[in-house]
Structure 1
Amino acid sequence: MRARSAALAGALALTLVLPAALLTPAGAAGSEVEVSDAMVEVGPEPGGAPVEIDTSTFVPAGGGPHPAVLLTHGFGGSKNDLVGQATDLAEDGYLVLTYTARGFGDSGGRIHLADPDYEVADARALVDVLAERDDLVTDGAGDPRVGAVGASYGGAISLMTAASDPRVDTVVAAITWHDLTDAFFPQRARGERSPGPFKQLWASRFFVSTAAQGLGVPGTDPVCGRFAEEVCAPFLDAARTGRPSTELLRLLRAHSPAPLLGDLEAPTYLLQGMADTLFGVEQSDATAATLRAQDTPVAVRWSDGGHDDLGGSLAADTATIEPWLDHYLRGDGAGDAATGDLPLPAFSWALPRTRGQDSSTVQSGADAEAATYDVLALDGGPQPLANPPGAQPASLTAVPSTGSEAADEFSDVISTYPLAALPGQSVAFDTEELSEPRTVVGSPRVRLRITSTARSSTLFLSMWQVGSGSADLPRRLVAPVTVATTPDEATTVDVALPGGTWQVPAGDRLRVLVTSTDQTYAAPRAARVDVVEVRELRLPTIEGATVLSAEGAGLDDEVVGLLAAIGVVLLGILAAVLLGRRRGHDPVDPATADVPLVIEGLVKTYADGHRAVDDVSWRAERGQVVGLLGPNGAGKTTTLRMVMGLIAPDSGRVHVLGRLVGPGSPVLARVGALIEGPGFLPHLTGRANLEAYWAATGRDAAEAGYDEVLAIAALGGAIERPVRTYSHGMRQRLGIAQAMLGLPEVLVLDEPTNGLDPPQIAGLRPVLARYAAAGRTVVVSSHLLAEVEMTCSHVVVMHAGRVVTTGTVAELVDSSDTTVLTLAAGSDPEVLATTLRRVDGVAEVEVVVDPAEPHVIVVADLPRAEVVRAAAASGADVVGVSSRRHLEEVFLGVIAAASGSDPDLRQVRSR
């Protein structure tokens, strides 16, 4: 149980740090900036142990006096994360003090999670350090002119420091929380005071990112790491039960800005992200509402980024921070004169990027509380949905930390809607098609009516955009609600959907999806059935919005490609198969109706202009094991991704059993695939992963063929262990077994032997042969030529994006005009080659120098017997004669010929 507890302790490790680039671009310390390091003594731990904080001071050029900035890093980080930001500010004339918070890096003490008596008190002690300097602007004795700046963990500490220390003159807080209670146990049912469901997916991510915190540190508890016991224990309990104790709720509330805001008078700038499953815009809105009510100057900006994505408004967002600091630390609003107009709009927001747009359009207007609501009717009526026993499988609405740009890559090729709208566990309510385009700014509202078989119902609501035959979730967020109910009696609640901005074109519909589970949250494990109804959707709009200048760039192409690749690994196969389970009435091409796979004229050119696949055509018949061969970069994987509908070709077609393949084609239900490696939920066992995968398809468990595929996986007792404990080879075997679930008619395997040891590779050969012999088709992409030769019946060879040869393995390795003469060990094959080159009818002689088995390959317009007689007459010690070449020789030959015969091939850069 200790290992289990250690994993649960990871729930405490809140990786709230966003790269310093969120606030300002990173850079190295400039030559004109003087940097000094020091350890500063702060308050002791509860037991009296002394604590020192690791600090760095960045002093600008010139004699001063300078205004100061106190920079606080995100959770799990250190002062090293802030070097670029501190340098930029120092070069602009600010003296900057950075530090590593208590419990992290080289600083002493334990992690108390933004405790007013520890982390916040430490920040106030650092203001004391600034007050002792003689090169700062001051507003009185011991009162330096200072701003507090931080993101996430650092943002909350900055707010709490300013609220508890009147010497702080302004605050910039980004992507941070108002109340940790609502952040970890969000409740979006208006008027409900009970906590909502626990954000379990973030707990898992925290473990992955900070599981090593405290390991090897003398005197550190192996379960809690560097966390203080009073924080660790109640979190461990919540991670185990999914519910917060009274003690934990009290702690989370106390370790939040919310109870301290009444004392915050410093002008405050809040940057909050709309791509944030951890701290949504409702957190900054709650902080801003409190501050406005007490006349504290405050501005709010909704960024297109967040903890899940830097977003398309990054450059425009960061450009606003320094004008805010300038105004309140050395401009018209400096010192005690912070009573004039705000230097920035009171409320501004980024609109979603359109396809191909590098940066987001930013608008400003009245604050979100001033929004007006339009009411749209929803169809559907009362509908039942079930919470399955164990709350598995769970709906999936987002890939963690996969940004909107990478998600757009997914939506180009697959719809994620079926992953969220699991059959029997979800219901949908649609508006009519919109007659005119709408810009939505704020938190849409719905009224939810629930009749449950249980005394409590936990549900998850999201707003989808439906157009052109597909559904998209522009803001990949859900609204969790936990509502007390009386069995078989209706309960009605108002629900605030996640806040953000949307642009909905005319002709699209909006859909409210209600699900009983969501992978981000811990849902109740007991089975129940709810009948739910949502009758109307209230959309917020803000009149008189002004477009602001917004320059910036999104993620670069390499980052987008990486995120998209990761997402395809995790979701691509699952989504393709899942979508394929929805059988449709797609037309059948009579000419290819009985052919498992036909590829015609495929062309794929990527955005940078390089062609990955160039006019590729081939087919795979029933009973065949087809090897797709080619060097790295030949275009094999790109071809297979088009076969599976994961990406769309620029031209050409793929037919499976006569049906045209595209993203989500129903015929993909008859295809199993392992492409670019398997993706599994690490905390589930191998068996549970297979069962969850199959359950997500909506097909009967009896059709899965678990016994057959488990025998193929050959994992023994390891099938009952969590996948995170598996070796690479074990994961690969489980991935092959997953692809074979349901015994699909076409099986596509990309590098299936990757990570397998020789006995396992040998054992896979007869499995694939038997699979095809039953009338199915297997396509294997590989660069292991010997394995293809022993496993496959047919071969397609690709090079530089094109097919250079096809045929049966037997045809390719056997040639009537080729004779292979094997000589005794130690023989000189050049002597025989010289003799044979003089024989009439011999067209080509190739020598293969191998001390153990030298041989000569002869291509001739002569009967093989005459070639052998000529060799024997030369006196050569011939010990073997064969017409068979190894596939490697064929492969290298056709590749060499293709490379030399067509200069256009060399201009194609394949992927």
Structure 2
Amino acid sequence: PGAGPGTGPSRAPAGAADPSCGRFAADVCEAYLRIATTGRADQAAVDLLRRSSPAGVLDRIKAPTLLVQGEADTLFPLSEADANARGIAATGTPVRVAWFTGGHDGGEGPKTDSDRVKFLTVQWLDHHVAGEGEAPGDGFTWSRIAGFDALDRGLVATGYRTADYPGTAGTARWEVAVDGPAQPVANPPAGNPAAISSVPFAGALSSLLGGVAGDIPGQHARFESEPLAEAVDVVGAPTVDILAASRTGEAVLFVKLYDVDPNGAATLPNGLVAPVRLTGLPTEVDGARPVTVTLPAIVRRIEAGHRLRVVVATSDQAYATPVEPTVHTVAVGGGVSLPTVAGEPIPTTATLWRWVLAGLVAAIVVGLVVVVAVARRRHRRQDSSVHPAYAGVPLAVRQLRKEYADGFVAVTCVDFEVHPGQVVGLLGPNGAGKTTTLRVLMGLTQPTAGEIYVFGHRLVPGSPVLSRIGALVEGPGFLPHLSGLENLKAYWRATGRPAADAHFDEALENAGLGDSVHRKIKNYSHGMKQRLAIAQAMLGLPELLVLDEPTDGLDPPQIAEMRRVLQRYATDGRAVLVSSHLLAEVEQTCTHAVVVNKGRIVASGPVEEIVGESPSVLFDVTDPEAARNVLDRLEGVRVLPDGEGQLVVDTNGTARSEVVAELVRAGIGVDRVVPRRRLEDAFLALVGENSRGSGDR
């Protein structure tokens, strides 16, 4: 079907003047332009290409030959290397074949694969040219992309080998049924617009991009399989039977095999297609005979759960096609036959080191078996024993101390309890030890001294009692490519607990994200992530909820709603521990508070008791401005800023009755006098108004 991608015959001497041909030989250039214009190869062009083909000289090659071929090469695909190998070997010449993951010039493959190719080349030349080393043999090696290297961000290839070269047919076949009705496909005038299956010089990249662009609607037919029950490693050229009919009696078609993952993303391996020209076709597909199409040879692992998709198209950007518009009808006859080859992985330096490291790890494991067994027995004893004094207490922290290796003491002595039905606020300036206390509580760091009990069970890393705690500590962390709901479900699956125990509906209601829960996390704002993290902490309705700065990133209405959520949650025996710097919110949300300063507790108990009797008094007056002028003249009395129509006054020991009398004598009406009880006042009094830390550890 005309010129293939990147087609360029032998080059003429420099100096050719024709700008249409550049440095290409004039006769070959003329044939190329003629084929590209008409979309048909005339007999003269076919004869010329046959004279230029290496097929005519293969039987004269007597030198031992190493054929190295790129799997992502769309100009010279693996079938070309296979034809050369068979033609050379037919006369008894030693031939060895190696497929690697790169493209035409080998520059697109992983470094690991390039090193393997260099080794094979040096080994071959050392023996056959320099006369050194053992005979390399005529075995077959191939490789496939195995993933990404986390260190250098490059691709990683795994190599395989077998004693005999099987060709592109493989040593075994895997049959996969594909299905779909017969479908009409239109050949566009002059082949425009055309599908794009590959990009020149980007073979391997084209594969990663899933074939760069989709097929043109109306110009292709799709036939799809059921999800594969198990993975299959394809090594060679798949085949598929197609049936075609056309009112012109012939058709140029492009057959492709896609790998479709469970999410519907389709990948065309290496952007490779099979161009075919069929003649003698009937006008109706019912009368058509099956034609076996050999697809391009590939090396690819198709995972379990993936589908195969066969696409038959009428156009491709890389090829010239008939210019006349027409309509064909195509169908498939059965399924796809996938070739496989049984081989063993090729050891590399990294593989050898992995074995060495595995041996060292095994030795360490053997040496620690007794220690682990003893630790497990001790852990069972510790976990099975319940402290009778704390059996019904969600959280009891006793004489907790945390000192770091550099001598910094983050927590000196912290001692408090959280009881059922309580919402307890953990307060303190930056550097007071709040986050460190929470990290110890969640097993993220080990305490230097002290004990933590959860419902009477002594808390140790990996303790089963941790399943009774839901936590948000040190900010939310989600997978950005998944939606909010998918993240919650993935998290719950990781716990190994039944889905019915998650209570997703309650958690999502608490998050208040609405339809946004179905959006990908990468599109979430910080506040949305925070709300989803709180919902995640509430999955399973844990009996103790531990939240570090839960209102971070929320706007005022969301903060107010979160206040109601936490108050509702602390019912039916559940309890909440909240670390926050928003004192006004703690005062409105929490039933109890624990105030920490410089690693020690300076106050603990009900919020009302901690606030206590405040020297600040709120006055509702008829004329706030006149009242301010009067009170400013009173010695020791200070007017504090507050809301409209009200005055907050620090009486500083002056009797409230004297202040009221002074206002009345000035003709100012006093409607209400109430104590101004604020947690912020008590907090500043406890930790010092100028107390500032350097950041929690």
TM-score (norm 2): 0.50
TM-score (norm 1): 0.39
RCO comparison, higher one (Cα < 8 Å, 6+): 2
Structure with greater Cα Rg: 2
